[in-house]
Chains A and B, each alone.
Chain A
């Protein structure tokens, strides 16, 4: 008898920082920091943050209970008012996208696949720990259906009922009631009561962050740009999980530096770099593929209309009389009325917003990204393209997903688009 000896290759545990998943984040972070010269010094806070959280896998601390959100429609002010911490779970990692693809339909949107892939993982990156509750607004179909899946993965989920029609009074009342239901749920979760003082403080906290963001937003109007879009996206992506007070302080510092840059006349791009407005499915770190491609090809993303950046922080709440119910209703209105998400039946507000952004930021063209499988963004392409066509604003529509292997094709399209913008500018000069 002759037994063939076989070798057993022991499974070596690889520390996260050397895993392929971390490698994906490291590659993108290196692109952001090293491929461009003269990054603002205040951005180091954010570079370090992403290095720690996405590349080293360090734990992300939070105060009180952790409430995960899957959409910007979840009123974070309420979560803070109950002494809990909100964290946006929407994920941008190709690694998790692949993982989610194991049990999700092949044609689903990468973002939802990645989020579910992350939630199904043993060790979640960013390392936020297990949320005590996940709030899932019923916005798009895939998000809606993933609610049951997330529950199946062992999480407590709250379905926040969000209307599909924004114009009617009925939906406004429906949403106000849904927000109150949410407050009730938070009360059960945390065991605390909602008080005027706490809610006011929460509104004030978020308002401070919004004020800091708006200032950054306005700095991006300068022509030639003094800060690149890749940095702006990183800043807003950090808002997903960073402590809000440290985030606000870091952004305020960045604003100071930008004010100095404006005074000193420092530019981040050449004068003839095409200015691009980015809209559509949200770029979430590490999937900053398209904005990076645009800027590596000589363009600059001056503004965006996405829920991982501008839309998350722009609209501010006004309250007339600071009663508890009044504040809650004001919040509800703020989250619904100006929302330009494509899940609504009509998209007039989105079109107007886009045109106004092009105007304010002197954008030369628009890049519209839709994740393959995201029906709502895909279906709005026609009406948005028509609106831009009428206004004489060039638009490039790109359908893509999280996979890094279409970079060649993407760069051809983006370069061609930027070249046509440059040629147009030259002709008009």
Chain B
């Protein structure tokens, strides 16, 4: 097969996400793996895994764009692009199926962002919270650990609660740990605590999103978007319906792959 493929690799602080896109811009495969401490080695491995998974030869990947915090380290890439632009493009493309997306909310392992895009998928405005772990995936990690649960279980526990969600007062993830332990010790239920944590994150995220301006439709991606409880809390805070894609973790990598395809086609056109 002599088809062309394009790849995007999102080298995040917690996980490495890779996405493959074909000539027509359709998703051909995606893969998520923990970053570990050896970013470069693990990135190469992630790419290799994805290619093995999809049966595509490396030479057929005509353009590769790296994004995420570790993008500059991945020298095998043809170009690097900020995760904001990549996320925007990824959300724009997948959002077409839902009637068009204008506001993107992303909660990552260590940061959260809100992006406003226009009708071509270009970034109009963005705000980031990358100074503080509160309101990011790290908060959920800490909470899960304290409650002795798996991350994947947090979502279902959210809906099990019989009482109102508890209010988590600490603004700092580290101090919130003590608060959670204290609540457990006082006999409060895990569900109410989890719901409280979700609302705490939702409030912060909603504030961020409002700064960028909420426009229909609102799209939510990043690893934590898999958490249905968090999605519910966020929807309630924002007061509007949120679109969550099937694979929220790889939206950014997918966007990078789409941009890789665009860049390649543009270069081909320039050459003519």
Do any CB atoms of chain A lie under 8 A from CB atoms of chain B in the complex?
Answer: yes
Chain A residues engaging chain B, CB cutoff 8 angstroms: 406, 408-409, 411-413, 415-416, 419-420, 423-424, 427
Q: Name the contact of B69 in the complex, choosing from A406, A408, A413, A423 (C-beta under 8 A).
A: A408
Q: Say which residue of A409, A412, A423 sits within 8 Å of B131 (CB atoms).
A: A409
The answer for the CA separation of A229 and B118 in the assembled complex, in Å, is 30
B residues contacting A by CB (< 8 A) are 69, 81-85, 111, 120, 122-124, 126, 128, 130-131
Enumerate chain A residues within 8 angstroms of B123, measured Cβ to Cβ. 416, 419-420, 423
* In-complex Cβ contact of B83 among A412, A420, A423, A424 (8 A): A412
Counting from the closest, the 6 A-B pairs by CB-CB distance are A416-B84, A416-B82, A415-B82, A420-B123, A423-B122, A419-B85
Cβ-defined contact, B120 with A427, below 8 A = yes
15 CB-based A-B contacts, threshold 8 Å? A408-B69, A412-B69, A412-B84, A413-B126, A413-B128, A415-B81, A416-B85, A416-B126, A419-B84, A420-B85, A420-B122, A420-B123, A420-B124, A424-B122, A427-B120
Chain A residues near B130 (CB-CB < 8 A): 409, 412
Among A413, A416, A419, max chain B CB count under 10 A is at A416
With both beta carbons as reference points, the residue of chain B lying nearest to A413 in the complex is identified as B128
B128/A419 in contact, CB under 8 A: no
Residues of B within 8 A of A409 (CB): 111, 128, 130-131
B residues less than 8 Å from A415 (CB atoms):
81-82, 85
Minimum CB–CB distance for B167 against chain A, Å: 27
Please report the C-alpha to C-alpha distance between residue A423 and residue B85 in the assembled complex, in whole angstroms: 10
**Cα distance, A406 to B129, chains bound together (Å):** 12
A412 to B83, CA, bound (A): 7
Q: Which one of A412, A415, A419, A427 has the greatest number of beta carbons of chain B within 10 Å?
A: A412
User: Which residues from chain B contact A412 at a C-beta distance below 8 Å?
Assistant: 69, 82-84, 128, 130
CB distance from B135 to the nearest CB of A (A): 15
- Tell me the nearest residue of chain A to B121, going by C-beta: A423
Instruction: Apart from A406-B131, A413-B82, A427-B120, list 4 A-B contacts with CB within 8 A.
Output: A412-B130, A415-B81, A416-B82, A423-B122
Of all chain A residues, the one with the shortest Cβ separation from B69 is A408
A412 to B84, CA, bound (A): 8
Given contacts A409-B128, A412-B69, A412-B130, contact A419 B82 (CB under 8 A): yes
Cα distance A233–B59 in the bound complex, in angstroms: 45
Query: Hey, which chain B residues are within 8 Å of A423, CB to CB?
Result: 85, 120, 122-123
- The CA-CA distance from A420 to B85 in the complex, in Å, is 8
Residues of A close to B128: CB separation below 8 A? 409, 412-413
Q: How far apart are A414's CB and chain B's nearest CB, in angstroms?
A: 8
Q: Which of A408, A420, A427 has the most CB of B within 10 A?
A: A420
Instruction: Quote the shortest CB–CB distance from B116 to chain A (angstroms).
Output: 11
The CA-CA distance from A406 to B132 in the complex, in Å, is 12
Can you name the residue of chain A whose Cβ is closest to the Cβ of B127?
A: A397
For B82, the chain A residues whose CB sits under 8 A away are 411-413, 415-416, 419
Interface-centre pick from A406, A419, A424 (highest chain B CB count, 10 A): A419
| Residues of the B chain whose Cβ atoms lie less than 8 Å from the Cβ of A408 | 69
How distant is A412 from chain B, measured CB to nearest CB, in Å?
5
Give the chain B neighbours of A413 by CB distance below 8 A. Answer: 82, 84, 126, 128
Q: How far is the CA of A423 from the CA of B88 in the complex (A)?
A: 12
Report chain A residues within 8 Å CB of B84: 412-413, 416, 419
The residues of A that contact B122 with a CB separation of less than 8 Å are 420, 423-424, 427
How many angstroms between the C-alpha atoms of A424 and B125 in the bound complex?
Answer: 13
Docked Cα-Cα span, A416 to B69, in Å, equals 13
Q: How far is the CA of A412 from the CA of B80 in the complex (A)?
A: 11
**In the complex, what's the smallest C-beta–C-beta distance from B90 to chain A, in angstroms?**
14
List residues of chain B with CB within 8 A of the CB of A406: 131
- Closest Cβ of chain B to A363, distance in Å, is 18
Taken together as a complex, chains A and B put the C-alpha atoms of A423 and B123 apart, in Å, by: 9
A409 to B128 alpha-carbon distance, docked (Å)? 9
Q: How far is the CB of A419 from chain B (nearest CB, A)?
A: 4
Are A419 and B81 in contact, CB atoms less than 8 angstroms apart? yes
